[in-house]
Structure 1
Amino acid sequence: REDIESKCRKVLTYKYVLGLKKKSYVQLSGLEQRINSPQTRDLVRRLNLAAITVLNNKNHILPLHTDKEQTIALLEVGDPGETDALAKQLSRYTSLARFSLRANQTKEENQRLRDSLSTYKRIIVAVSEQRLAPYQPFFAKFVPESPAIYLFFTPGKMMLQIQRAVAHASAVVLGHSYSSDVQRQVADVLFAKASADGQLSASLGELFPTGAGVTITPKTPLHFVPEEYGLSSAHLKRIDSIALDGIHQGAYPGCQVVVLKNGHIMFDKAFGTYTGKGSPRVESTNIYDLASLSKTTGTLLAIMKLYDKGRFNLTDKISDHLPFLQRTDKKDITIQEILYHQSGLPSWIPFYQEAIDKDSYDGRLFSARKDIHHPVQIGTTTWANPKFKFKSEYISPVKTGDYTVQICDSLWLNRSFRKVIEEKIAEAPLKQKRYVYSDVGFILLGMLVEQLAGMPMEAYLQREFYEPMGLEHTGYLPLRRFAKSEIVPSNKDRFLRKETLQGFVHDEASAFFGGLAGNAGLFSTARDVARVYQMLLNGGEIDGQRYLSKETCQLFTTETSKISRRGLGFDKPDADDPKKGNCAPAAPAEVYGHTGFTGTCAWVDPVNELVYVFLSNRIYPDVTNRKLNQLHIRERIQGAIYDAMKKK
């Protein structure tokens, strides 16, 4: 008894010290948004997906093949409209004929329905109704010759009411709930666009024992014999030696390379390690910081989508959509000028300097040479003093109050800093309208997307592209969805953030947007990136689903500036001097794509129907490592692809 009382006193003491004896009140305003946060929704989505159970899979009927030519019958058992989300998602992958089974149909109606279904080679039965007694007369005689796949969006025990029909099913999938998200996920599982490895926690009569469950793994693109598509396997192996040469010479610790020809994978390999000897090996599913490749794999996709929807014209002044620019020298800049990088905007603005306390360090923050006060090299001829402090009005070591924008593991930015960024952009002098590659321009395009889409750019991209395209490893703020161990470190930041950046964007400007800026911040794998550019090569379509109109794709991927090699957001080869561009000399003028500071690139060749992606972390540990460029690794790999076409 004394022991219990002692422990109770200890608990009460801690409650008093922590202030828990005070009555706390819940702030009701914004409660729904706080509870239903993106992290919460993602957790619910992942839990729902983990619960999906494929109970059997006779003759490996699953996964189904994406085929718009073959129509699949969908029989919906339940209230009208309850499985609309399922039908819509299935329609992304196949042609669909929908049938509805009503309760207490006559014998004649049941037979006509059975006869209609018998003409299809595949039948999906979607059950959202829990009381199946009124439907038993239909199922008692429903034993089709074609494979039937039963989907239950109900508790599992409900299938026992139509046990005989289920016993003859080719596949049975238990979704547990008829929520729209679960329906979409089940549809994805059927076509191996999502994984399913759930197991039954309790037996279902004699149908399925405890632990029943078949694993469905997402489809990875099939590898094809390169010779079938006009490439030499032997010469493609040069990619291995070039990639490994880069590792041996210290250009980067590891990398991923993907090559597609006519939509099929010709080459897909990962090389090296995360950070060097003793660190994990790079796998094809590991995630890289794309740096400026985010511009065309993220921001530009959103811009193209909004253009498709008629939300703006290329000749629009950006100040018409971003009011903070209206009374500045930037009021007449057009969206087209920004896309061409010829708006007169500066290349970049060091926003972070506004957060640094200028009285917290001796001398200057930067120096042209290394000395006792400037030991950290951050550029070819720039050394920095890391012994500074941030202004407490802008930076906090913990998340609290208005300090909600995370810069790295240990720093949180006050959300009011967004106003400071806008002021710095507005104040920056506008220069002559000639070609100057500008991060600032794409930062403004990111703001434009937010304004026109009415939501954060990352949410818009996730909804319009990444999620429906099945790009599970692509997105901003990857630590919200992935373990840090799945993300390749990009840099040891010894100056600004003073930590290894792993899952936080390296780019300083994007970091002060919390990693959600138009110039950088996207993370992905080479496989996912290749899928994005294959969609563009296809004219805005992939797997039978259209994401952009052909006309918009044609415009953005073919137009070129009159004063530079740049396209509308895309980089291109330099027609006058191939050595000045970022492509192999053999790349035709029609090629488009982009590169990234962390050591990334993606190039599309519409003439030869090629997609080439290279991802690395060449700035680990040091941003001054220029060996990737000096050795021309990316260009040499691209050149090897063209050589393989010549020597097939």
Structure 2
Amino acid sequence: MPFFRKIICSLLLVLCATSGYAADLARIDALIGDAIGRNLIAGGVVLVGSRDRILFEKAYGRISPLPDAPLMAVDTIFDIASLTKVAATTPSVLKLAEEGRISLIDPVVKWFPEMAGHGKDSILVLHLLTHTSGLDDVQLYGDSPIRSAIEGAATQKLKGEVGSRFRYADLNFILLAELVRRATGAPLDVYTQASFYRPLGMTDTCFNPKREGRFCATLTEGRILMGEVQDPLCRQLGGVAGHAGLFSTARDLGRLCRMMLGGGTLDGRRVLAARTVDQMTAPYFSRGGGVVRGLGWDISSPFSSPRGNGFSRISFGHTGYSGTSIWIDPASDTFVILLTARLDYKNTHEFNKLRGDLSTVASQLFGIPPELGEMARFNDE
């Protein structure tokens, strides 16, 4: 660790020791306890970390709404829903681009000739990653749901100008997972295990986990699911999809976040080039500059509630429908993970407020002030 960074960390430790730090940590307990009390969630896990270490880790409540449900634990395994997009699909596509096996400016029809002749020639792989393809979600059907996804993409009329219209659609990432399979010959679950999860020591992260285990519950159509993916499209696709289906723990996801803050390395093991991480998190603008996305990652959009107030403008993250979120700030060297047993899927305003409030508190308690973080990064280079 460079000398300047050591000075910053030492100063922060002194400040924490002299400013009622334990009382400040109780603010996180209060936030999660209030969400449990209002039946937004049955329980959850909060993990805050930096490039070098875990700074805060705690489990709250229970794994399901059942009164006799086991208590939540820090190693509880969650269906992380749309975090799959950034924890599996995005790094896979970017790694293939880094290796020259695909290009982000490849026309999508190069990989999906089934779409040729349907007016989709202007869609690039880049547009799928930024949700600016002009495609909307479609229903899946039949014995080959991936074929129906491709046909649905091919035959639908594009909405708006490609590259300018932002429309969050799972179909973009369903296609990207199939692109990974076509480019490598391996399905997404096999490719991610070999390329990321095993090298990073993410031992609890996988698609289609064994049903016996320490799972957090998800709710769907009045049923409680344990170790079975909640997303219906992913279930149709056999549990392995580019938009959902991944299961993980807060600590495993923390290792992914630390790798991102480390410029593609963790514990001396490199899984992505530093330039690839930079490319992944560089801003791409749509809606006349009103929406800012990275490749896969969110930066500033209608889905950016976990950014809170306090993280820098270069911070990035993602949310998951099951009650999950990640937000990472390279400037303050901080990330926040929230994984929950979500109960209330209608009150999105209050749930998003919980995400934002948690990040705001975490940035105040654990983050290096962004201006000092930028200086530390400069001294690291």
Structure 1 and Structure 2 fold alike (TM over 0.5): yes
Q: Which among 523, 530, 544 is matched to residue 247 of structure 2?
A: 523
Map of 2:296 onto structure 1: 569
Matched, 1:293 2:83: yes
Question: What stretches of structure 1 of length at least 5 have no aligned partner?
Answer: 1-223, 355-393, 395-413
Alignment partner, residue 100 of structure 2: 310
Q: CA deviation at 1:267?
A: 0.5
Q: For 2:138, what is the secondary structure of its paired residue?
A: coil
Which of 39, 46, 50 is the aligned partner of 1:261? 50
Could you tell me which amino acid in structure 2 is paired with residue 567 of structure 1?
G
**Residue equivalent to 1:607:** 331
Structure 1 residue identity aligned to 2:159:
K
Q: Distance in 1 between matches of 2:169 and 2:268?
A: 36
- Contact 1:557/1:567, CA 8 A, preserved across alignment: yes
Assess if the C-alpha contact under 8 Å between 1:493 and 1:501 holds in 2.
no
- Matched residue SS, 1:462: helix
Q: 1:454 to 1:249 in 2, by over 3 A?
A: same
Contact in 1 for aligned 2:78/2:339 (Cα 8 Å): yes
Distance 1:617 1:598 in 2: 7
Q: 1:519 to 1:646 in 2, by over 3 A?
A: closer
Counterpart AA for 2:58:
K
Q: 1:645 to 1:526 in 2, by over 3 A?
A: closer
Q: Is residue 643 of structure 1 aligned with residue 371 of structure 2?
A: no
- C-alpha change, 1:646 and 1:288, in structure 2 (3 Å) is closer
- Change in Cα spacing, 1:420 to 1:558, as seen in structure 2 (3 Å) is closer
**Aligned-partner SS, 2:36:** helix
What's the offset of the Cα at 1:534?
0.8
Q: Contact 2:174 / 2:241 at 8 angstroms: preserved in 1?
A: yes
- For 2:275, what is the secondary structure of its paired residue? helix
CA shift for structure 1 position 569: 1.2
Q: Percent identity?
A: 31
Structure 2 residue matching 1:241: 3-state secondary structure: helix
Equivalence for 1:270: 59
1:469 paired residue among 182, 193, 200: 200
In terms of fraction of residues, the more helix-rich structure is: 2
Given residue 324 of structure 1, which amino acid in structure 2 is its aligned partner?
E
* Letter in structure 2 aligned against 1:539: G
Give the aligned partner of residue 35 of structure 2: 246
Q: Deviations over 1:5-42 (max 9, x none)?
A: xxxxxxxxxxxxxxxxxxxxxxxxxxxxxxxxxxxxxx
Q: Shift in Å at residue 262 of structure 1?
A: 4.0
Q: Supply the RMSD in Å over aligned alpha carbons.
A: 2.4
* CA–CA distance in structure 2, aligned partners of residues 519 and 487 of structure 1: 20
1:422 to 150, 154, 168: 150
Q: State the one-letter code of the partner of 2:293.
A: R
Matched residue SS, 2:46: strand
Q: Determine the C-alpha separation between the residues in 1 that align with 2:11 and 2:87.
A: 26
Partner of 2:283: 559
Which position in structure 2 is the counterpart of 1:236? Answer: 25
Q: Deviations over 1:325-359 (max 9, x none)?
A: 1232223201111222111011x2232xx4xxxxx
Instruction: List per-residue Cα deviations over 1:152-190 (Å, max 9, x = no partner).
Output: xxxxxxxxxxxxxxxxxxxxxxxxxxxxxxxxxxxxxxx
Residue number in structure 2 paired with 1:280 = 70
Other structure's SS at 1:572 match: strand
Say whether residues 1:456 and 2:187 are aligned partners. yes
Q: Report whether the alignment pairs 1:441 with 2:163.
A: no
Is 1:486 the counterpart of 2:214 in the alignment? Answer: yes
Residue type at the aligned position of 2:282: T
Deviations 1:399-432 (A, max 9, x none): xxxxxxxxxxxxxxx4x34333332232222111
CA deviation vs aligned residue, 1:346-384 (integer Å, no higher than 9, x gap): 1x2232xx4xxxxxxxxxxxxxxxxxxxxxxxxxxxxxx
Structure 1 Cα separation of the partners of residues 242 and 14 of structure 2? 37
Q: Residue 342 of structure 1 aligns with which residue?
A: 132
Cα separation, 1, equivalents of 2:259 and 2:168: 26
Q: Which amino acid aligns with 2:214?
A: E
Q: Retained in 1: the 8 A contact 2:305–2:356?
A: no
Q: Is residue 626 from structure 1 mapped to residue 348 from structure 2 by the alignment?
A: yes
Per the normalisation by structure 2, the TM-score is 0.85
Taking the TM superposition and a 5 Å limit, the aligned residue runs for 1:81-160 are: none
Structure 1's 606 and 295: CA in aligned 2 closer, same or farther, altered over 3 A?
Answer: same
User: Matches of 2:22 and 2:51 in 1, distance apart?
Assistant: 16
- Alignment correspondent of 2:3: none
1:514 to 2:241 alignment: no
Tell me the TM-score normalised to structure 1 length. 0.51
Cα separation, partners in 2 of 1:297 and 1:580, compared to 1, 3 Å = closer
Aligned equivalent of 1:378: none
Kindly state the Cα deviation for residue 230 of structure 1 after the two structures are TM-superposed: 6.4
CA distance in structure 1 between the partners assigned to 2:14 and 2:275 by the alignment: 27
Divergent runs of 4+, >6 A: none
Structure 2 residue ranges without an equivalent (≥5)? 1-8, 370-381
Question: Which has the higher Rg, Structure 1 or Structure 2?
Answer: 1
Say if 2:220 and 2:230, in contact at 8 Å, map to a contact too: no
Distance 1:647 1:560, change over 3 A: closer
CA distance in 1, matches of 2:245, 2:367: 37
Q: Distance in 1 between matches of 2:50 and 2:149?
A: 43
Kindly indicate whether the alpha-carbon contact (under 8 Å) linking 1:229 and 1:261 is maintained by their aligned counterparts in 2.
no
Please give the alpha-carbon distance, in whole angstroms, between the structure 1 residues aligned to 2:146 and 2:121. 20
Q: Could you tell me how far 1:229 is from its partner in structure 2?
A: 8.5
Partner of 1:333: 123
**262 and 519 in structure 1: CA distance in 2 versus 1, 3 angstrom threshold:** closer
One-letter amino acid of the counterpart of residue 435, structure 1 = F
1:226–1:233 Cα contact (<8 Å) kept = no
Are 2:274 and 1:550 aligned? yes
Residues in 1 aligned to 2:315 and 2:14: alpha-carbon distance in whole angstroms: 19
Task: Give the residue type in structure 2 aligned to 1:275.
Answer: S
